[in-house]
Amino acid sequence: MGSPDSELSIVITDDAEMAGLNQTYRNRTGPTNVLAFPMHEGDFPDLNPELLGDVVIAMDTAAREAEEMGLSLAHRFDFLLIHGVLHLFGFDHETDEAAEVMDDKTEELFKIIRE
């Protein structure tokens, strides 16, 4: 995806911590499954060009979703990680069209890593 020498930070947390992050950075109540914090946005986007950013995954939510979907936790975690990384590259799902593009790309990458 154009960043062969980039670094990524993955943070695994619980629902309580995720709820705090979600409130602070998105002004939304409660936990969410994944948040992404791109390093190429904000006040100092060129400070360290090798850093893509942070992907934060709430394992409580991921485990609950995996169980509801009949998936393994590893399967759900991989999917959420890909989803978060795509956010770091500028993908979003705020519109139906953007959501479809992001879903397609997530599925494409998921198939590659699960082969």
For residue 96, give its domain range.
7-114
Would 106 be classed as within a structural domain?
yes
* pLDDT of 95: 79
Q: How many domains does the chain have?
A: 1
Each residue's pLDDT expressed in tens, for the chain with a length of 115 residues:
555 677 899 999 999 999 999 999 999 999 999 999 998 776 766 777 778 899 999 999 999 999 999 999 999 999 999 999 999 988 888 777 888 888 889 889 988 987 7
* pLDDT of 44: 67
Would 15 be classed as within a structural domain?
yes
CB 103 within 8 A of CB 86: no
CB 110 within 8 A of CB 85: no
* pLDDT of 1: 57
Q: Rg (Cα) of the chain, in Å, rounded?
A: 14
CB 79 within 8 A of CB 33: no
Domain with residue 14: its CATH number is 3.40.390.30
Would 2 be classed as within a structural domain?
no
pTM above 0.75, yes or no: yes
Q: How many CB atoms lie within 10 A of CB 21?
A: 18
3-state SS of 63-74?
Answer: HHHHHHHCCCHH
